[in-house]
Structure 1
Amino acid sequence: MKRFFLFIWVKKLIIIPAVLAAAVLGFIFLRGDEEIEHQFVIVQKQDVIHEVDVTGRVRPAESVNLSFESSGRISRINISVGDKVSAGQTLVQLESADLSTQLQEAEAVVRVEQAKLNDLLSGAKIEEIKVQEVKVQNAKISLIDKKEALINSIRDAYTKSDDAVRNKTDQIFDNPRSLNPILKFHPTNSQYEIDLETERPNIENILNSWKIDIDAINITSDIVTNAQNVKSNLNQVKLYLDKVALAVNNASPSQSITQTTIDAWKTDTSTARTNINTAITNLATADESMRLALSTLSLEESNLNLKISGATLEEIVAQEASLDRAVASANNIRVKISKTILRSPISGIITAQNAKIGEIAVANSIVVSIISASKFEVETNIAEVDIADVKISDGAQITLDAYGNDVIFGARVISVDPAETIIEGVATYKVKMQFLEDDSRIKSGMTANITILTDKREGVNAVPQRAVIDRNGVKIIRTIQKDLSIKEVSVRTGLRGSDGNIEIIEGVNEGDRVITFFKE
């Protein structure tokens, strides 16, 4: 595949052709007295391939014993002893209805998360903004209603307090509104008399100041502070009435005060205390409703600003993470489903079949045995850093030292040992591959150079891995705009290729210029 370097200077253009995997470009431009040099690639559609390269040795072909990795009820058997089978053919299946249902649910979650991400990336529609504007307007109207309700509660609290003190309980005083009110009776406990005659002028001052505030309050006032002051006033009045109740309950009839009068005082005092308690409750309810309306308005205004300005990078990254989790969950279920299907890793002949429909297959118990139709296979040991990428049925290309690199033999992975083999202190795992075709040139003991194709993405956007910057878990790519300015964009990456390229799932488009080298 041919690639081209374009070195762009401020005053002249030099074009140098070269053979590369993508169009690589570099340029120098002036910024004040500084020269800044960049190299970049043009994003192209290409294949991203991940391979594992190892060496091995040709061995005589052996039989393969197959078992399930997990237990389950056998639902289908497709083979009998003596049948010829090909690589990848389904032999035995376990019940997987529950897993299939889970997969449908997981795929639905993926679609939902993808839709959410698409909404964040595309921004809010005009219709959505208009709907949110209506919500803000409704929240403003609701706040005004709640403020008016709180103002009414504040006024009602004053009215009840004024009535409780000046109408219902001032009966027990001579000159109640003066600086020296005199209690009309002498309670059994003389301290009650002292307290009431001392506190009545204080209550008068509270009511007078309160009346001034009530006359001035309106929808534009600082209602929150006013409500706090009223709450304090109500508590003062409540404590005063509690002492009035103690005093009248300790009153005794005399020549000037009858029991009927005392009973009337008690009734009026009880009514006054009930009214004040009601006012306290009503004020608290109205205040809470107003605060909730204020919070609702703030929230709706924030939502409107968010819809107008669009999603932040942090929100996009968080949603991408949610999508990745959903995809991983769906893939995990697919893996579980694949483990309910026993497929032949090689072409050969069935020599044993121990499965019966309806029986429970025990994990790691031999279900089917196959003898290879080929004469030879290749055995190798793969290091633990690469073994996670290798799976049964992966394709491979093999060259033998005896015939050089020009003679290539096709092969397929037929087994991966679950247990490690320690070689020179390093954990490795034995892997066997079967040649796809018999060839008389293949001899036992020959050294094999193996390239296993573990994954492949065809026709995807890809860039060199060095172009991707990991910044606090966020994948960033720097792109060059038409005016030569540099813009950082968040991307979602996919498969890492063995040739140094990496798949870009989202964030850049074909033809974009992506910086791979930044020198200042």
Structure 2
Amino acid sequence: MKNFFTFSVIKRVVTYSKAHKIITGVVVLIMVGGGYWGYKASSSSGASLSYVLGVVEKTTIVASVSASGQVSTVNQIDIKPKASGEVTWVGVKAGDTVWAGQALAYIDSTEAKQNIADAEASLASAKLQYQKDSAQAPMDYDKSLEALEDAKKNLTTTYNDTYNTVSNAYLDLPSAVTGMQNILYSSSLGGQSSNQWNIDAFRDMANQYSDNGSTSAIGTFIDVVERDYKTARTKYDQAILDFKNLTRYSATSDFEELLTISVDTTTAIAQALQSELNILDAVVDELTIRNVTVNPSITSMRTSARTYLSTVNSNLSALLNQQKTLDSTKKTIRDNERSIEIYKIGNESGSNPISLQSSAQSIANQERNLQELKDNLSYYTITAPFAGTIASVSLKRFDTVSTGGSVATLITTQKIAQLSLNEVDATKINLGDKVTLTFDAIEDLTLTGEVIEVDAVGTVSQGVVSYKVKIGFDGQDERIKSGMTVNSSIQTDVRQDVLAIPSSAVKTQNGITYVQVFNPALAETGGTTGVVSVIPPTQVEVKTGISDDTKVEILEGLNEGDQIVTRTISGTATAVKTSSSGAGGAMGGAAIRF
């Protein structure tokens, strides 16, 4: 039955195809085309990268450590100084009642004040230099542009001088080459009746004056002089053709090429003339030793060879000097172009060069350091963290104290927050660090405070080390109860007006921290969906500073306004799938039915 059904179906298809040839042809074309189109779509699918962009901006970064703990009531607290030095004044004794913030003792701050004065002087000097450099930078940039323009004009002049130098050389070289040829391939040594070339006459002399089978001095130069002449002649014949094809309007590259060829050719001619002079000197020496009269033609040839050689050497020096001048002028242009590129790093106008940008960043760092010194000056005054009664005082005038050592004990009934930090976070905490506090049980309450105590010795539990930290509240609220859960954010560092980028933009590979940068910047930013770029971003090594939950401080490597990659999105194009319903639809009411 199955075979019969299959045969019946095939038979009906064939019958229908014969009766509806046009429709059948269209269906076949659509199916073939659809298959090809689907194949192309499938084969063209592939992965693409989109870049989510951002810019380097100046902002404030607050580095912090978050921790949770409980509220507790402290009965007494050890007062510890935040600075080291010699005690200059003690203003309390045991039993005294004090208020929060009252000065208890002073530590000598002479050195700290001197550091502030030095930092202020250094900052003032840096600002004056920056103002001077800022005024000078546009002028230096303009000078670089002028220098580049002058160098380009000089290059034009140098090319003209190159043509003149080469031209002068080819005024002298033809006669030198002709004279060089006559010394070897004329018949001046054999008289008017002889057709023997001079080189052959030299060879006969070499054979004649070879004693006991040894080669004479003349013979040692025969092969050399012939080789040098042929080399020089071949180079000259090609070079003179190249020169004749050159005009003052030829391409500068042709000038440079012919200058190089001319130096090579002139060098070869000078060498050939020197070899001819060597063999002539050898002939004269040999004849003189043997008391044979020197042919006047030989003397004449020696004089001519010296004259030609002197002229050729002068031309060679001129060509070499011109080559150096040309190279030097081109190098000047390259140096000026590089100088201009450096001026324009991070600013298209060139008025704010990278050196000036670096100076501005250095000034910002000095300002931050100065403010830190001023803030730390208050550490030289030991104050009471809370109101209470002094239970004991363990210091006196002229004592030397150090940070972390207890100098007094205060009895109080103030509430504090007691936290537990791991060993990594504990190293970031210092006495006096500002803290923001919230309470799970009191949703609308936010308090500020500061770190008043950090355990010097950690507690080990199940192999984990932790340190207790106590936070004093700047204010009290009756709703706060002992045992309540408190959430704290301890500010470990604050940097204002610093360069920063999103944390996601910073990458590390093989110990190198870097950021991907588009330079020049892309015109389209693409928003949160990213933008596709044919040219990939470049990796720029950076030095980072502090960070918060979203941003990282940039100390070196980037400038304000630089376009960076904050995130890379990898997408895959989906191939379009074809459907058989299209073919059936094309047949409409004439669809085959079984």
TM-based fold match above 0.5: yes
Deviation at 1:257, TM superposition (A): 1.7
Secondary structure of the structure 2 residue equivalent to 1:344: strand
- Mapping for residues 356-375 of structure 1, pairs under 5 Å: 369-372=407-410, 374-375=412-413
Match of residue 149, structure 1, among 161, 168, 177: 161
Deviation at 1:147, TM superposition (A): 1.6
CA contact (8 A) 1:81 1:353 kept: no
- Mapping for residues 374-389 of structure 1, pairs under 5 Å: 374-376=412-414, 377-384=416-423, 386-387=425-426
Equivalent residue, structure 2, for 1:230: 262
1:449 paired with 2:486, answer yes
Equivalent residue, structure 2, for 1:33: none
Identity of aligned residues (%): 13
Larger CA deviation: 324-333 vs 428-437 = 324-333
Deviation at 1:381, TM superposition (A): 1.8
- Mapping for residues 94-105 of structure 1, pairs under 5 Å: 95=111, 97=114, 101=118
Secondary structure of the structure 1 residue equivalent to 2:89: coil
In structure 2, the CA distance between the partners of 1:79 and 1:307, relative to structure 1 (3 Å rule), is closer
Count of residues paired in the alignment: 438
CA contact (8 A) 1:87 1:393 kept: no
CA distance in 1 between counterparts of 2:336 and 2:77 reads: 70
CA contact (8 A) 1:391 1:454 kept: no
What residue ranges of structure 1 are gaps of 5+ in the alignment?
Answer: 1-45, 509-514
CA distance in 2 between counterparts of 1:210 and 1:111 reads: 62
In structure 2, the CA distance between the partners of 1:365 and 1:421, relative to structure 1 (3 Å rule), is closer
Deviation at 1:233, TM superposition (A): 1.0
CA distance in 1 between counterparts of 2:314 and 2:436 reads: 88
Secondary structure of the structure 1 residue equivalent to 2:81: strand
Q: Which has the higher strand share?
A: 1
Match of residue 137, structure 1, among 149, 166, 174: 149
Structure showing greater Rg: 2
CA contact (8 A) 2:419 2:469 kept: yes
- Deviations for 1:311-361, whole angstroms, at most 9, x for unmatched residues? 59xxx9x999968974567756866787786453643769355775xx9x7
Q: Structure with the greater relative contact order (CA < 8 A, sep ≥ 6): 1 or 2?
A: 2
CA distance in 1 between counterparts of 2:180 and 2:401 reads: 88
CA distance in 2 between counterparts of 1:192 and 1:459 reads: 84
Q: TM-score scaled to structure 1, two decimals?
A: 0.58
CA contact (8 A) 1:180 1:197 kept: no
Secondary structure of the structure 2 residue equivalent to 1:55: strand
Secondary structure of the structure 2 residue equivalent to 1:432: strand
- Deviations for 1:449-469, whole angstroms, at most 9, x for unmatched residues? 242452799999xxx989x76
1:192 paired with 2:221, answer yes
Match of residue 78, structure 2, among 43, 60, 63: 63
CA distance in 1 between counterparts of 2:120 and 2:262 reads: 60
- Mapping for residues 263-302 of structure 1, pairs under 5 Å: 273=309, 276-277=312-313, 279-297=315-333
Match of residue 239, structure 2, among 196, 200, 210: 210
Secondary structure of the structure 2 residue equivalent to 1:473: strand
1:92 paired with 2:108, answer yes
CA distance in 2 between counterparts of 1:440 and 1:145 reads: 90
CA contact (8 A) 1:158 1:210 kept: no
Larger CA deviation: 161-170 vs 284-293 = 161-170
Equivalent residue, structure 2, for 1:80: 90
- Deviations for 1:57-86, whole angstroms, at most 9, x for unmatched residues? 5343222343757xxxx6x86633538796
Equivalent residue, structure 1, for 2:471: 433
CA distance in 2 between counterparts of 1:310 and 1:396 reads: 38
In structure 2, the CA distance between the partners of 1:242 and 1:171, relative to structure 1 (3 Å rule), is closer
In structure 2, the CA distance between the partners of 1:168 and 1:319, relative to structure 1 (3 Å rule), is closer
In structure 2, the CA distance between the partners of 1:458 and 1:280, relative to structure 1 (3 Å rule), is closer
CA contact (8 A) 1:172 1:184 kept: no
In structure 2, the CA distance between the partners of 1:339 and 1:267, relative to structure 1 (3 Å rule), is farther
Task: Report the residue type matching 1:55 in the other structure.
Answer: G
RMSD over aligned Cα atoms: 6.3
Deviation at 1:294, TM superposition (A): 3.1
CA contact (8 A) 2:438 2:486 kept: yes
CA contact (8 A) 2:184 2:197 kept: no
What residue ranges of structure 2 are gaps of 5+ in the alignment?
Answer: 1-58, 189-194, 207-215, 508-513, 573-594
Q: TM-score scaled to structure 2, two decimals?
A: 0.52
CA contact (8 A) 2:385 2:452 kept: no
